[in-house]
Chains A and B, each alone.
Chain A
């Protein structure tokens, strides 16, 4: 630790000392000590399960289920929260400690007008100057807060419902709710992890401005080291319920002391993406010789009919064309709604295009029938984003990997069994897990199973739809190197659908940038990253967190 964190002075707002938390009989936090000075911005970084959210829940005394504080103290400006009665905590939450929660989709009441939810927070905090039963006053203050949080046309939007707001706007509403009580400490628990990069940047810029203007202390919880480095004065790294290392962003990123921090820094894609092109070996080779394209997308158009509105259509894809050469990785990037997933679904034969062609090995899956289609489908296999949803929970691992072999009628029982073992070896999973079920595996292990299943019918092309974005950085790094390794050994072609440009930098040879159903830029990874031709691309690139720490 850089400075003595445990000396409490007048500057100290929050001092947590030797905090222990258990769930039932299982201890999950071990002696957490941290200090926040007034006006300071501090980040807690760690993987899921590291205890960062539990720390926040303990400070707010909102531990779920059987969670209990078993030791230590939480000192907020001279008052011990660890032993404060619940009635006292209600006065502290909201008015002294504000929380911006993670998921803007589920944290607003869908049946209540947005403005009313902010006014509700004002009423419950009963700030001086706002008297009870004074509707106009509450409304005026709520509209003010909405405007402050960066919601345009706040007066009109006050009366709207959450479903009329986009994800980014809902997050702004949550920020307004958190600021309603004018708290001294604002805790932001992964506030933007559900949002697109450019929106993420806008929200964080705005949050930072607000916090600075009010002199609020910020505790920022994130799994993204780059984001933490960009936004805060001090970073606390947590793992397995302990604080591993603490220091300034420069110190943590450029000169980490602990082994765990070193692995975390090395794995953080946003940080390594900002490094010079020589450092990213996989992405460096340009394809000089014209190789055979495995994927050929020509003037692809897809329109969806709107339900209940006759003749109305939404264009998901307008005139999309690109090719993917054999043995290479092409990344399709864009924000949500850009049409990138529709391209993937058409290539997989799950959707029929309205116009144009999507060819795999020179033929179209959606136009083919019967045995022809079966042959084509063997060539393309998907790896989905969510390893919890893509594996049938009632199947054993062996049966999951075995499924494509059975459907395509490859081999007999014995040969299928040995093929499953071979595939488990390829994705570096122990053969002993074959009889287990998906819910007994971790996210990373499940994603390996999903890759093994995709590899089973010996496809030429893997379509990875956000295949690593649901995973922690360290696991993400492992899965990406597994994919690179498999490409080297098996000559696979990847089409990587993602919104995460940092990941793209790590693995892609070619990049296709999509926006509103159109390809706005495409080229080799170096061309796109080092000399973007479109403003939109530059905007996406500059939104990658951690870029400032490129050496």
Chain B
């Protein structure tokens, strides 16, 4: 009887409604969320500005115009005005965004590459958890800025070193996120099923745990990114990150500080840029979290 019976239609009414195939569903959910859409557009603008900085910038960011310092925004030739040395703020802003994104991307990559495997190991094997989690706790006990300052001081200030310092400072949070996901996924029936097939621990980690934890890693990356961007601005502001005259949003802020009353716009634009970068990642990350969450299938 069982063989001849009719098979139920593929999509029954009720629980499965509204769930499309993987990627299409995520994209649709992102586009239908107004905040996600805003974040996405802002993110696209920021990335385009950063990547195309050399093409879009009308001047070299380090080119000085001693005859025209402190120009107001809207001056012919200088869209956002000039700073104390007559450098074009618009050009410096674009290159500064590029530097921020570079540092952000590098430190996120570092946090993901180091944090994910450690988190997987800590979550899956209890005896490793003791070692890795205690180390994580110790690292978290230091404020991340102290670590970053110490690393930058030891290895000398530069873009790469700032990125490494910020990345390492974010590794513990990444470990925690991945470890938590691993603990959850490890208890699921499909992992039990794989064990009864005599699958090895590594096999389970790579074929079951990692793909299911991926969305949490992606979302956490969008959380780390703005932290790293602010961190870069902070280190550069303190003189521990990117070195002048190379443009960076933090250096622009620090330079503008002396002339803040004479030319406030020189500080406002880099400040706005930092806010825009952070906001875009936060909004996009929030929407992405909702879109990737398989339990969030509320009928809309």
Contact = CB atoms under 8 A, between A and B. Distances in A.
Contacts, number: 120
Interface in A432-489: 433, 436-437, 439-442, 444-445, 450, 453, 457, 475, 478, 481-482, 484-486
A433 B299 contact: no
B57 interface: no
Nearest to A241: B13
B8 A382 contact: no
A408 B300 contact: no
Contact of A478 (B5, B10, B208): B5
A391 interface: yes
A384 B193 contact: yes
A49 B12 CA distance: 8
A385 B193 CA distance: 12
A394 B26 CA distance: 14
A149 B293 CA distance: 39
B194 A403 contact: yes
B193 A453 contact: yes
B63 interface: no
A527 B148 CA distance: 74
A404 interface: yes
Interface in B19-37: 19, 21-22
Given A384-B193, A389-B189, A440 B298 contact: no
B157 to A, nearest CB: 43
A393 B198 CA distance: 20
Contact of A485 (B1, B10, B300): B1
A390 B189 contact: yes
Interface string B110-148: 000000000000000000000000000000000000000
Contacts of B3: 428, 485
A485 B2 contact: yes
A407 B299 contact: no
Contacts of B189: 384-386, 389-390
A390 B294 contact: no
B197 A408 contact: yes
Given A389-B190, A453-B193, A481-B1, A394 B7 contact: no
* Interface SS of B by simple majority: loop
Interface residues of A, number: 56
Interface stretch (A64-72, A162-170, A221-229): A64-72
Interface in A111-135: none
A437 B21 contact: yes
Contacts of B190: 389-392
Contacts of A350: 192, 195-196
A429 B7 contact: yes
A440 B196 contact: no
B216 to A, nearest CB: 13
Interface in A64-108: 64-67
Interface stretch (A185-193, A300-308, A373-381, A514-522): A373-381
Given A429-B7, A433-B10, 5 more contacts: A66-B300, A350-B192, A393-B294, A439-B19, A481-B2
